[in-house]
Structure 1
Amino acid sequence: MPSNSQPEISTTVLPNGIEIYCFQKNEEIFLIYEQVQEYFRHGIKINKGDIVFDVGANIGIFSLYTWKENEGDVNIYAFEPIAKTFELLEGNIKRLTSEKVKAIPCGLSNYARTEKFGFYPNTSSISTVYPDGSKEEKDKFKKAALQKINEVHGSKNIFHPLYKYTVIPHFMLSFILNRKIQKAFVVEQVTCQIKTLSEIIHDYKVPHINLLKIDVEKSELDVLLGIKPQDWTKIKQIVLEVHDLENRVETIKTLLASHGFDKVVVEQEPYLKGTDICNMYALRAEINKK
């Protein structure tokens, strides 16, 4: 169902103390914050002075977390193609008053173009060039939500933003989630600019990328296919969210191995069991030895 309504703009404070602009104060912000921390596993790390690409930056939570963890001494290129989301990303980055963090208003893919995206104003993190409002997709979304709520219930963490749902009777919880998911999947079409990663490396004269983070809602392989052969050696570590469609996990693992990534780990969070979503961590041998 299309929507042309202007999304609500608000502010909230992340667990690390950074105040941010966001579309709405809801659980999505803090779930993304949790996800960001999951990226730093299996040897993935950033040191002060490193160069980081945040592809699929959304409103900038990964960039802000990385900046804070490295006391502002990190160079970040944050990419967000959707204009309304980019405004918040840019606003959040300006709050840092740091020239080391750049917000770039484009998406990355396998070739440069303009492209229509599905923008989800109520759940901006799932906006994508491959929108899918099917019942199957919504059912997977609901399943993951229920499994996450069960996980929180087991942890007995009363401060978790989802804890309030653990005390709701199941039949009521199902109804509430159905309403929330219906709202989450309201979508509007927007036209965005897309470039390739190699174009960015060339245009910004980027000497190397210490960490390439990709979270682009089913476009992750497209992003990797936009890297020219001569630029692969400039990339030291990659962490990406993968939607395992058409054997994509194996395709990406093979691609990464062919470009010298010796360690590739695939991991799925327990609450995502039964979905096609997982994280992939890729490092080169010289990184593993450090």
Structure 2
Amino acid sequence: MPNPWDLPDELPTDLPVSRCELPDGRVLSAVQEAEAHTLWEEISSAAPYRKAAEGLRPGEAVIDVGAHIGLASLLFGGLAPESRVLAFEPAPKAYTCLEDNLARLLPGATAFRQALGAASGTSELTYRPYVASASTLYDDAEDDARNLEAHLDNIGADERTREVVRRTFNVSQRVTVEVTTLASVMAEHDVDRVGLLKIDVERGELDVLDGIDPACWPRIRRVLLEVHDIDGRLGRVVSRLSGLGFHATVSQWGVYVGGSVHLVLAERD
């Protein structure tokens, strides 16, 4: 029987790098062109992302954890051109795009093929070639399904679109990746002041925070992180940041209403 959604029965996992042109004419390397366009539209228009870059001071570092192909790094670098951008992405194909995009479009920024967590070592990444931004060290099929269905509901997707998205999302492969900690990054790369720490690691946000030594926190001025609110995690993250002297504001993209994904922007008083 022919495939009703114009997809082969076996979807390939090794996809070629594509090109994506942003509205301003810049051309990016991308894992998936459609994904890149969607993500750029989301983050470039999101008030928390723009507010996170306000007032960044010359010489302060912007650390982008879970950088994907570098969209947030490019946004922050454009809004705060005198900042020092360090971007971390463990998925090999996404890292290839990140490295190329930063080299061409944000000279002076540095890409690292690493994940950040609670301890240094290696871990197994679930890499999703058709939705590379959803690649994760922390599998949770129930949370993935909840967020995927909420997203499809909120964009009013028809049944054909839903089936295509579900099929492509569920294509994955396991990749061994290097993991380091933020404390190690700050020591190894002589980072004295972090103007902005951005974290988008698909349920690994608490582990990234656990990898920050107490002595590092006074040197971090602002944190922007995506939190999957599972078992009260959002409250725990906000409470931890508040205890460290940050004032946290929580928001949610409209496409994730009904799902677990929230944005937290935490700034020092």
What is the TM-score with the length of structure 2 in the denominator? 0.89
Instruction: Please give the residue correspondences for 1:75-154 in structure 2 after superposition, counting only pairs within 5 Å.
Output: 75-96=84-105, 98-99=107-108, 101-134=109-142, 137-147=144-154, 149-150=155-156
Maintained 8 Å contact 2:20/2:37? no
Structure 2 equivalent of residue 54 of structure 1: 64
Q: CA deviation at 1:3?
A: 7.6
Equivalent pairs, count: 258
Alignment-mate amino acid for residue 106 of structure 1: Q
Instruction: Please give the residue correspondences for 1:9-20 in structure 2 after superposition, counting only pairs within 5 Å.
Output: 9-20=17-28
Alignment-mate amino acid for residue 96 of structure 1: L
1:29 matches 2:36: yes
Gaps of 5+ in 1: 151-164, 166-172, 286-290
1:248 matches 2:251: no
Alignment-mate amino acid for residue 144 of structure 1: H
Maintained 8 Å contact 2:31/2:93? no
1:277 matches 2:257: no
Distance 1:203 1:248 in 2: 30
Q: CA deviation at 1:180?
A: 1.9
CA 1:97/1:179 → structure 2, altered by over 3 Å: closer, same or farther? Answer: closer
Distance 2:141 2:52 in 1: 36
SS at match of 1:95: helix
Q: CA deviation at 1:42?
A: 6.0
CA 1:144/1:4 → structure 2, altered by over 3 Å: closer, same or farther? Answer: closer
Distance 1:182 1:133 in 2: 14
Maintained 8 Å contact 2:117/2:180? yes
Distance 2:193 2:112 in 1: 18
Instruction: Please give the residue correspondences for 1:150-229 in structure 2 after superposition, counting only pairs within 5 Å.
Output: 150=156, 173-229=158-214
Alignment-mate amino acid for residue 15 of structure 2: P
Q: CA deviation at 1:46?
A: 4.5
SS at match of 1:229: coil
CA 1:16/1:73 → structure 2, altered by over 3 Å: closer, same or farther? Answer: farther
Distance 1:66 1:202 in 2: 23
Residue identity over aligned pairs, in percent, reads: 29
SS at match of 1:186: coil
Distance 1:43 1:187 in 2: 32
SS at match of 2:90: coil
Distance 2:22 2:121 in 1: 34
* RMSD between superposed Cα atoms in Å: 2.2
Extract structure 1 runs of 4+ deviating beyond 4 A. Answer: 41-44
Distance 1:47 1:239 in 2: 13
Deviations 1:4-62 (A, max 9, x none): 73122111112233210012221x21221133232336666243523201000001011
Candidates 26, 40, 57, aligned match of 2:49:
40
Distance 1:97 1:109 in 2: 26
